[in-house]
Structure 1
Amino acid sequence: MTLLIGTQDGVYRSQSGELNDVERVLDSGVTLGVHAFEEHGSFAASKTGLFHSADQGLTWDRLGVPQEEMYAVAVSPNGSRLYAGTHPAHIYVSTNQGRTWTELEEFQKLPSRDQWHTPRHRGKSHVRSLDIHADAPDRVVAGVEVGGVHISDDNGKTWTERRAGLELERGDDLQYDVHHVLVVTADEYVVSCGGGLYRTTNAGHSWTRLDTELPGPYFQEAFSYQGILYAAAQMLPPTLPMGSRYDKRSVNASLFESTDDGTTFESKPYPGAPDEFVYAWAAADERVLAGTTEGRVIVRENDAWTTLGHVPKWIRSLSIE
């Protein structure tokens, strides 16, 4: 089991998956996402570009996406299309394994496009999340920070907004602050936002807020494995500028598990709480792993969380190949 760890300082790799052999394998700076796709290799989306590895993260090649800052990547179920989401918020597609790219221009014509911006991100937004479910292979689900959830049912040719219901009772520019869209089934998604945790069972036509009884309301990424929904919350977003360390006095982080699709949650103790916020998830071999803002990897075994190991930097993403 090879574990890839996207961090504030590139990609780290553990061939054993136990972190006793961890090494940095890609000097890509702030790396927002590492993703392994069966038969298609691993990808690292970073602020210095999109990188691909065909050997479980040992070596990497940079793919020439027109925008440099990469936040999200997805592969169609049949492997014929590779999608990339960027900062500023654009989506590109490649049909030749990343050699050339075409922008999905209709994405820029969504009715709310002019509202996608925030001072926190240099007055712009980015495509923070992309995913495709095998049961709806032509449907691309995009999450924009700040901008909401948007869906294409024709491989990105046309788009519709599915953000109504994600708004909060607030008047600032963090409305529709989508960090991650967990695509559970073709129609069921769990969306982690800077102002709450939401679920839809009809592909975003309506949303139910799940965190009304939880502390927070800042959520980064939810995760589902073997009938359990995992989520983590804290009180405030990271200290600015992006890349700085969290203010431990204001984190007050928590980890939650739900066995009923988010109807109820149980708070779980974990190493590093309440100072370290769980930012990333992965699972394999009956184990769930999570990564924190202090570079700690924790593992859930025997109904408890323990420390597996550490890397030197804030963990942004985890992937197992």
Structure 2
Amino acid sequence: MAILIGTRDGVFRATTVPVDEAKQVLDSGDSPRVRAFSEVDGVFAATKAGLYRSMDDGQTWENLGVPQEEVYSVVASSDGERFYAGTHPAHLYVSTDSGATWDELEGFQNLPSRDEWHTPRHRNEAHVRSLGVHPETPDRVIAGVEVGGVHISEDQGETWTERHDGVHDDVHHVFIGGPDEYIASCGDGLYQTRDAGQSWMRVDTNLEHRYFREAFAFDGQLYAAAARGPPGTWSGEDGADAVLLESANHGETFEQSSYPGGPAEVILAWTAIDGRVLADTNNGRLISRNEDGTWTDAGTVPAGIRSLVVC
């Protein structure tokens, strides 16, 4: 077992929780997403220096040569036959030969809102920040764009439809909870759909915090975290002024939990290990959830954490 931690300085590897020692194993710079998929061997790191794959639990890595260097997201099809990579600027690529070659999914560029995908803070461009596939809908690919909304393909990425009516367009992550049930974490709110994005419902209406980065579900519990504002506001006197939220009823209501580092530090990513939830904060802190529902420190890494995966 290994815990791989994507940070702003590359990927780190640990083998115990609490994390007593984390060794840097990939010098890739900013690494927005590390992921593993049950359908394929290895683990993937989507980084601003390329898409990497490791076949030995993160000890060594190979650059898979996606045409755009800055890769923000990756997903494998449920049959393991296709890898999808989302980039900055916002393009989508597919490989059908385990990453040896890549083809652009040109239909993604033909979406009606494509010319509106941009934001000044990202060189006035956008990126594909989140990709998802559910095993019960193997031909469907779900893409979340920052800034550009949620879009879905029903034919393995060849053609696309916009599913962003009712959801904020600053999409950081789309959690795939079921074949048609997704949770979108956005720069202004947390949104849920139960019909594959045909309609969206905002589920954070009773909260003062609006900036969400990622949601996660484990053992019947939904987890989310929010800051009062975007990263540019996290260095103030109160830090991120963040909250950790838990729901036992699929997001209908949330309870706030205290956690190490909060509220100054905000939780950015989640995973599960040995039957418990592991999360991270923007300051490089790892925290784990105890059986009684409390949260404790679980180690640190010397860089701001962006993503987590257990392999």
1:223-238 matches, cutoff 5 A:
223-238=216-231
* Cross-structure match for 1:259: 248
> What is the count of residue pairs matched by the alignment?
309
Q: Which moved more, 1:34-43 or 1:132-141?
A: 34-43
Identity %: 56
Whole-Å Cα distance in 1 between the matches of residues 159 and 273 of structure 2? 35
* Cross-structure match for 2:82: 81
* Cross-structure match for 1:317: 307
Structure 1 residues 151 and 248: alpha-carbon distance in aligned structure 2, compared to 1, 3 A threshold: farther
**Contact 2:73/2:87 (CA < 8 Å) preserved in 1?**
yes
**Contact 2:214/2:224 (CA < 8 Å) preserved in 1?**
yes
Q: What is the CA distance between 1:250 and its match in structure 2?
A: 5.0
Cα-to-partner distance string for 1:254-288 (whole Å, 9 max, x where unaligned): 00000001010000000000110000100022110
Unaligned stretches of 5+ residues in structure 1: 168-175
**Contact 1:28/1:48 (CA < 8 Å) preserved in 2?**
yes
Output the TM-score relative to the length of structure 1.
0.94
1:289-304 matches, cutoff 5 A:
289-302=278-291, 303-304=293-294
Q: What is the CA distance between 1:37 and its match in structure 2?
A: 1.7
* Cross-structure match for 1:123: 124
Cα-to-partner distance string for 1:199-232 (whole Å, 9 max, x where unaligned): 0000000000000111210000000011100000
2:188 matched to 1:195? yes
Which one-letter code corresponds to 2:283 in the other structure?
E
**Contact 2:17/2:299 (CA < 8 Å) preserved in 1?**
no
Output the TM-score relative to the length of structure 2.
0.97
Whole-Å Cα distance in 1 between the matches of residues 239 and 113 of structure 2? 32
- Work out which of the residue numbers 201, 204, 217 in structure 2 matches 1:208: 201
* Cross-structure match for 2:10: 10
Structure 1 residue ranges (4+ consecutive) displaced by more than 6 angstroms after TM superposition: none
Q: What is the CA distance between 1:104 and its match in structure 2?
A: 0.2
**Contact 1:51/1:62 (CA < 8 Å) preserved in 2?**
yes
- Work out which of the residue numbers 270, 273, 279 in structure 2 matches 1:281: 270
Whole-Å Cα distance in 2 between the matches of residues 192 and 96 of structure 1? 32
Structure 1 residues 101 and 248: alpha-carbon distance in aligned structure 2, compared to 1, 3 A threshold: farther
Q: What is the CA distance between 1:21 and its match in structure 2?
A: 3.2
Q: What is the CA distance between 1:235 and its match in structure 2?
A: 1.0
1:1-321 matches, cutoff 5 A:
1-38=1-38, 39-167=40-168, 176-239=169-232, 246-247=235-236, 249-302=238-291, 303-321=293-311
Q: Secondary structure at the match of 2:32?
A: strand
Unaligned stretches of 5+ residues in structure 2: none
Whole-Å Cα distance in 1 between the matches of residues 263 and 18 of structure 2? 24
Structure 1 residues 120 and 55: alpha-carbon distance in aligned structure 2, compared to 1, 3 A threshold: same
**Contact 1:215/1:233 (CA < 8 Å) preserved in 2?**
no
Which one-letter code corresponds to 1:104 in the other structure?
L
